[in-house]
């Protein structure tokens, strides 16, 4: 596909909700894509088709429907592996989302590998989902949780990682590939290479990266990588934990139950092979199958084209927003160093008031702390406004966002 703005605008016809009118018959301008993206007909239809024509439990029965469902479910696993350049699709574990993926690692890997006095390193710009599971683990184990701070540009102060690694106590470094608030792209390769030399494991929260740029997990070479389907056109309730096979094989299970077992006796059980050892219970079959269509859709456009489109929108928005008086922009000023996420404050108007007023103009952004209270403390604000872009957004929509801010100025007599 050619990556012109016209071709991206063409995509909008696949997303029925984008035709919605909201509030006082205003055209919907959906700029809350970092929270969740809209779904194209291809995904919605695949889910209906599954329930209408194939619905069955998987992996066990031998009847026709069960075979079809199992095949479609496992084909999604293979598709994800290929999409991320993972050689062995048994390393793809289905979870509910990024949060569950991180919790799985904290519980199943963390409990076996983290001892009293050990250190887990995270960063100041993490989502709560990459802080709280590690607080739970380090508190239980009497281990320590340490943070890599951010500088005034919203970038990680990597030298701090060197200091932590020198202690010899670090067991895991965990960070988001792209910050959900600042949009900062973390120097993942640099962090991984430092951790490799120190023999330390690395987990990457890819919730804001996999949907927006080409990710090659073989090339990147972390130990764990997690992301969510619903932030990349897929249904809610589907996420992926990828980890190296050697690590997964040594790990204890997370949830116990059906499908994750080989043999169950009264007092002992042997575990199933990968990936099923970590997929207890009936999985989210319909949504996993729907997620395959989302990946097909993104592949057809091309991840590099998607990245370029968002970069163009981000540059355009940053240029326009810089010119508005009273606006505070957070994060690096260099668009190339960030994803399609712009956090801002407008004069001293509380973000919730900004959000409510521009919602009346049909503009959907996120106002709040974005599940990143540690970062809000650092920025010394209670909350921010966040506009985040995806494939179907246009420059005209950014113009509507900008002009809706004029309404805020009017209401608050700025």
Show which residues are catalytic: 371
Binding mask 244-273 for another protein (x = CB under 8 A): ------------------------------
Which residue among 60, 166, 262, 410 contacts another protein (CB under 8 A)?
410
Asked if 77 touches another protein (CB under 8 A), the answer is no
Cis peptide before 397 (omega within 30 of 0): no
Asked if 407 touches another protein (CB under 8 A), the answer is yes
User: For another protein, which is the closer residue by CB, 99 or 272?
Assistant: 99
Binding mask 299-338 for another protein (x = CB under 8 A): ----------------------------------------
Question: CB 29 → another protein: shortest distance, Å?
Answer: 18
Site for another protein in 122-161 (CB under 8 A): none
Question: CB 206 → another protein: shortest distance, Å?
Answer: 25
Asked if 19 touches another protein (CB under 8 A), the answer is no
Asked if 411 touches another protein (CB under 8 A), the answer is yes
Name every residue whose Cβ is closer than 8 Å to that of residue 294 and which is 6 or more positions away in sequence.
39, 40, 42, 43, 229, 232, 233, 234, 235
Question: CB 26 → another protein: shortest distance, Å?
Answer: 13
Which residue among 150, 369, 397, 401 contacts another protein (CB under 8 A)?
369
Asked if 362 touches another protein (CB under 8 A), the answer is no
214 exposed, middle or buried (CB, 10 Å; 0-12, 13-18, 19+)? middle
The DSSP H or E segment spanning 201 is strand 201-205
What is the full DSSP assignment across 18-85?
GG-EETTTEEPEE-BTTT-----HHHHHHHHHIIIII----SS--SHHHHHHHHHHHHHHHHHHHHTT
Closest CA to 222 of 191, 197, 246, 253: 191
Packed helices 303-322 and 395-411: angle between N→C axes, nearest 10 degrees: 30
Question: CB 382 → another protein: shortest distance, Å?
Answer: 4
Which residue among 22, 261, 376, 400 contacts another protein (CB under 8 A)?
376
User: For another protein, which is the closer residue by CB, 166 or 352?
Assistant: 352
In degrees, rounded to 5, the angle at the alpha carbon of residue 215 between the alpha carbons of residues 398 and 88 is: 145
User: For another protein, which is the closer residue by CB, 273 or 348?
Assistant: 348
Question: CB 400 → another protein: shortest distance, Å?
Answer: 16
Asked if 383 touches another protein (CB under 8 A), the answer is yes
User: For another protein, which is the closer residue by CB, 119 or 405?
Assistant: 405
**The token pair that represents 318 in the structure block:** 């940053």
Asked if 182 touches another protein (CB under 8 A), the answer is no
Asked if 367 touches another protein (CB under 8 A), the answer is yes
Residues in contact with another protein, counted by CB under 8 A, come to a total of 19
Strands 170-176, 201-205: pairing is parallel
- Rounded to whole angstroms, the maximal C-alpha distance in the chain is 72
Question: CB 143 → another protein: shortest distance, Å?
Answer: 27
38-57 burial, b if ≥16 CB within 10 A, otherwise e? bbbebbbebbebbeeebebe
**Cα dihedral sign, 273-274-278-282:** negative
Question: CB 347 → another protein: shortest distance, Å?
Answer: 11
254-290 burial, b if ≥16 CB within 10 A, otherwise e? beeeebbbeeeeeeeeebbebbbbbbbeebbbbbbbb
156 exposed, middle or buried (CB, 10 Å; 0-12, 13-18, 19+)? buried
Span from 43-51, 60-68, 321-329, 361-369 in contact with another protein (CB under 8 A): 361-369
Residue 311 near residue 376, CB atoms below 8 Å: no
Site for another protein in 340-359 (CB under 8 A): 349-353, 356-357
Beta-strand ranges (E) seen in 258-308 are: 261-264, 269-271
Asked if 382 touches another protein (CB under 8 A), the answer is yes
CA distances from 266 to 263, 269, 270 (A): 10, 8, 12
Question: CB 413 → another protein: shortest distance, Å?
Answer: 7
Which residue among 187, 302, 326, 368 contacts another protein (CB under 8 A)?
368
Span from 41-49, 110-118, 248-256, 367-375 in contact with another protein (CB under 8 A): 367-375
Residues that bind another protein (CB under 8 A): 349-353, 356-357, 360, 367-369, 376, 382-383, 407, 410-413
């Amino acid at each position: 596909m050619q990556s012109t703005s016209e071709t991206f605008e063409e995509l909008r016809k696949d997303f029925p909700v984008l035709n919605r009118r909201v509030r006082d018959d205003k055209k919907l301008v959906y700029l809350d894509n970092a929270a969740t993206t809209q779904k194209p007909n291809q995904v919605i239809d695949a889910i209906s088709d599954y329930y209408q024509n194939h619905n069955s439990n998987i992996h066990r029965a031998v009847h026709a429907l069960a075979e079809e469902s199992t095949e479609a479910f496992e084909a999604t696993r293979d598709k994800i592996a290929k999409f991320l350049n993972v050689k062995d699709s048994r390393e793809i574990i289905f979870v509910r989302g990024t949060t569950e993926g991180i919790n799985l690692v904290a519980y199943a890997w963390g409990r076996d590998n983290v001892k009293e006095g050990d250190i887990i390193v995270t960063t100041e710009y993490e989502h709560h989902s990459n802080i709280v599971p590690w607080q739970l683990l380090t508190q239980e184990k009497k281990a320590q949780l340490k943070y890599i701070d951010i500088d005034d540009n919203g970038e990680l102060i990597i030298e701090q990682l060197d200091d932590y690694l020198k202690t010899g106590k670090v067991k895991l470094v965990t960070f988001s590939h792209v910050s959900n608030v600042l949009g900062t792209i973390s120097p993942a390769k640099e962090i991984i290479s430092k951790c490799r030399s120190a023999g330390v494991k690395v987990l990457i929260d890819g919730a804001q990266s996999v949907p927006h740029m080409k990710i090659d997990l073989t090339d990147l070479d972390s130990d764990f990588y997690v992301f969510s389907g619903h932030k990349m056109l897929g249904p809610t309730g589907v996420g992926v934990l990828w980890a190296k096979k050697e690590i997964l094989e040594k790990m204890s299970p997370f949830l116990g139950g059906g499908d994750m077992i080989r043999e169950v006796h009264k007092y002992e059980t042997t575990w199933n092979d990968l990936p099923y050892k970590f997929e207890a219970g009936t999985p989210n079959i319909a949504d996993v199958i729907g997620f395959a269509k989302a990946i097909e859709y993104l592949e057809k456009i091309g991840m590099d084209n998607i990245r370029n489109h968002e970069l163009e929108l981000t540059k355009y928005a940053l240029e326009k927003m810089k010119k508005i008086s009273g606006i505070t922009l957070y994060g690096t000023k260099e668009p190339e160093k960030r994803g399609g996420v712009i956090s801002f404050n407008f004069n001293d108007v509380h973000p919730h008031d900004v959000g409510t007023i521009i919602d009346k103009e049909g503009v959907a952004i996120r106002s709040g702390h974005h599940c990143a209270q540690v970062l809000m403390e650092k920025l010394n604000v209670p909350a921010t406004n966040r506009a985040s872009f995806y494939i179907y957004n246009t420059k005209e929509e950014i113009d509507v966002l900008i002009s809706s801010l004029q309404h805020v100025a009017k209401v608050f007599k700025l």
